[in-house]
Amino acid sequence: MSVGTRSAQDVSAACAGGAAELGIDPDQLPDGLVVADEQGRVICFNAAAARITALPAEDALGQRLEKALPLEDLEGRRWWQLTDPYGGLAIRRRQPERNLLLPGGREVLVSAQYVRTRPTGPVHRVVVALRDTEARRRTERSHAELIATVAHELRSPLTSVKGFTATLLAKWERFTDDQKRLMLETVDADADRVTRLIAELLDISRIDSGRLEVRRQPVDIGAAVGRHIQAYVAAGLAADRFLLRLEQPLPALWADPDKIDQVLSNLLENAVRHGEGTVTIDITPTESPREGEDTGTSVTVSDEGPGIPEESMNRVFTRFWRGSKRGGTGLGLYIVKGIVEAHGGTITVGRAPQGGAEFRFTLPVSAPAYLT
Ligand SMILES: Nc1ncnc2c1ncn2[C@@H]1O[C@H](COP(=O)(O)OP(=O)(O)OP(=O)(O)O)[C@@H](O)[C@H]1O
Ligand SMILES: [Mg+2]
């Protein structure tokens, strides 16, 4: 209807046309792209720019750059005045990425490129890239949360260690041997807790950075589960708390025995601590959907306890999630999943036929090529 709108459409078409020569649709770019001509008027404002600035492209096109993008730095200074792309030093070619503010305090990461037709000639185009800071803020927030949680988890055992040692040092004579032993046992257990927590955090950092090493060798998974059960029975649990069912023959399994032990120990400990009744372990070969392909081994650990509520199932493998008061640090299943995936396997959670929780992980054979 108005002249302004028509000219905006024209320039928009020009922007798309220029990009089309390169086979690119600016609206498909994940980052905001804003281009201004030699007079500082916006000739391109892609879909991501419109989303990030909450300004429709039709309103931005044909406008002056400083009106379409009224950016301010964190001290409240107007960025276009400060950087003066058209009047500044004729050798300047770019502005490095900066964190700037849009009206309403919206944060945005901005960088700009000045295009000149001759090396020190006038600016022909200003190309501005805009990036949303939401993704960056989200990672920063999750790091901050992780640090806060870790600090909190470390503080409670250390507070207890400090409390008991200080009391013993100050009033050594006033306690009986039994009382001293009890306090030292608590200190010992708390020190173990800190050590374990630190080992878990190191595992997590390896998993998160993809540095978890898997040293493969043949693993007899049935025997490994048997050893864990024996350890529980030796520690006083009734032998009939466990039911191990092995389906034979199993394909050879090449895996890291220490890490598989860690997986089994976490799953069995969870079943005993958070579950109830008989803990059933089923070990079966997995059929490959395609013939002639590697098969694998599946291990299912199920119990007869309360199970995991349906709505929490997708959260059990996240760090620090714990469902009940009896929970530990909530890192166990996160590490289990990391280890299984480092082996190229998968893990799922569901409801056991007896009503409790059921964890099932599958490991591919992964034998060295010369053996397959
Ligand atoms: N077999 C199970 N039955 C019921 N709830 C379970 C079972 N296994 C895990 N959970 C729930 O999932 C939560 C997370 O388990 P995870 O092993 O990650 O942490 P945790 O056992 O609390 O602590 P950690 O293993 O780090 O000592 C537990 O706190 C518990 O609420
Ligand atoms: Mg656990």
pLDDT of residue 2: 39
CA-to-CA dists, residue 117 to 16, 81, 120, 186, angstroms: 21, 23, 8, 75
Each residue's pLDDT tens digit, 105-133: 888 889 999 999 888 889 999 999 999 87
Under 8 Å between Cβ of 278 and 242? yes
Exposure string (b/e) for 329-363, b if CB count within 10 Å is 16 or more? bbbbbbbbbbbbebbebebebeebebbbbbbbbbb
- Higher model confidence: residue 134 or residue 263? 263
- C-beta of 316 in contact with ligand 1 (< 6 A): yes
Candidate from 9-18, 112-121, 298-307, 343-352 with smallest mean pLDDT = 9-18
Q: Is the CB of 338 under 6 A from ligand 1?
A: no
Question: What number is the average pLDDT over the span 195-203?
Answer: 90
Average pLDDT over residues 237-247: 95
Mutate to test the pocket of ligand 1, among 201, 316, 358 (most ligand atoms within 8 A of CB): 316
Question: CA–CA separation, 179 vs 187, rounded Å?
Answer: 13
pLDDT at 18: 62
266-306, pLDDT tens digit by residue? Answer: 999 999 999 999 999 999 998 765 555 558 999 999 999 99
Query: Which pLDDT score, from 0 to 100, does residue 148 have?
Result: 84
- What is the pLDDT at residue 289? 58
pLDDT for the residue numbered 256 = 95
pLDDT at 326 over 80: no
Q: Ligand 1 pocket check: which of 194, 325, 329, 333 to mutate, most ligand atoms within 8 Å of Cβ?
A: 333
Q: State the distance from the centre of ligand 1 to the C-alpha of 251, rounded, in angstroms.
A: 30
Whether the CB of 364 sits within 6 Å of ligand 1: no
- In the reported structure, the alpha carbon of residue 221 is separated from the centroid of ligand 1 by a whole-number distance in angstroms of 22
Structure confidence at residue 3 (pLDDT): 38
- Give yes or no for residue 10 having a pLDDT over 60: no
Name the average pLDDT for the chain.
87
What gap in Å lies between CA 94 and CA 279, rounded to an integer?
64
**For residue 328, how far is its CA from the centre of ligand 2 (angstroms)?**
6
Separation of CA 266 and ligand 2 centre (Å): 5
Considering only CA atoms, which residue is closest to atom 1 of ligand 1?
A: 271
pLDDT for residue 371:
46
Residues 275, 356: contact at Cβ < 8 Å? yes
What is the strand order of the sheet 296-302 is part of? 242-246, 279-286, 296-302, 357-364, 346-351
